[in-house]
Amino acid sequence: MELEVRRLSALEAIWLGIVQGLTEFFPVSSSGHLVIFQTLLGVEEEGGLLFEIAVHVATLVAIVVYYRQRIWGLIVGALTRDPASWVYIGQLAVATLPAVAVGLFARDAVEHLFGRPVWVAAALILTGMILWTTRWTVSRAVATQPGWGLALVVGCAQAFAIVPGISRSGTTVAMALALGLAPLAAAEFSFLLGTVAIAGAAVLMLPDLATATPEQLGNLTLGSAAALISGMIAIWAFVRMLERQAFYLFAWYAWGAGAAFGLYLWLRSGG
């Protein structure tokens, strides 16, 4: 069944903004949930990619606000030529390269997956398996700083998470924990890495703002505000779960959401 392409209502824009804010930071895949809710609503926003970028920018703002002291410290360190700051910034740059490569050379394949909701159901179940591994790795992860090798491998995990239904935050944190990076340091590296990817996508979409109608801009504003508020709440809860070594519990949600969505698609197709 093809989605009806139309303008979202204000309430739908707010709802999708809340979904984006929560699922961008909770390790359950924001892109996968946007596909799920668009499928359930039976609609696709006119200029849907622009809407998705707008709510992603709102979650970028949430990261900047939450990690403002760390970000400011890196900026000051870079300006004063602090070696540790430059190493960390370099590691973020290295970790960004795999996602850039996927965006350049596999964009069509990724966009194809966004049009196949059944892949989202399968990917969510895989996300649950990835999250479940942290049940054993989190207690052994004690390193306070990432290494160059870890940065590259975590970057590959982020590139893999471009697939809708694979959680970016969940996959990158799970990989960092598996490689020995302590929970809070893993969350920090994952979220700061996310700012680079989100900012890059936002810059590419800026020209599209010139073609947005006043009604679309209204939806962008409502959705972004909802994403910002829910995103701040989600970051706080995400970090608390890591501190309590209960991160793996998100796996149950990912498994349930994937199975329920898969069942819905199967029943909709006539079984």
Q: DSSP secondary structure string, 77-106?
A: HHHTT-HHHHHHHHHHHHHHHHHHHHHHHS
> Lowest mean pLDDT: which of 10-24, 35-49, 52-66, 241-255?
35-49
pLDDT at 46 over 70: no
List the one residue out of 103, 107, 180, 194 whose CA is nearest residue 146: 180
pTM for this predicted structure = 0.86
Q: How far apart are CA 119 and CA 191, in angstroms?
A: 25
Report the pLDDT value the prediction gives residue 204, as an integer from 0 to 100: 65
Exposure letters 240-271 (e unless 16+ CB within 10 A, then b): ebbeeeebbebbebbbebbeebbeebeeeeee
Model pLDDT for residues 195-241, shown as the tens digit of each residue:
877 777 667 666 666 666 667 778 788 888 999 999 999 999 999 99
pLDDT at 191 over 70: yes
Residue 93 pLDDT class (50, 70, 90 cuts):
very high
In Å, how far are 42, 109, 123, 259, 270 from 1, measured between CA atoms?
Answer: 9, 21, 21, 20, 12
Instruction: Pick 198 or 2 by higher pLDDT.
Output: 198
Confidence of residue 175 (pLDDT cuts 50, 70, 90): very high
| Distance, first Cα to last Cα, the chain | 14
Grade residue 38 by pLDDT with cuts at 50, 70 and 90.
confident
Average pLDDT, rounded, for the chain: 86
Question: Which pLDDT band holds residue 270 (cuts at 50, 70, 90)?
Answer: confident
pLDDT of residue 5: 52
Residue 6: per-residue pLDDT: 55
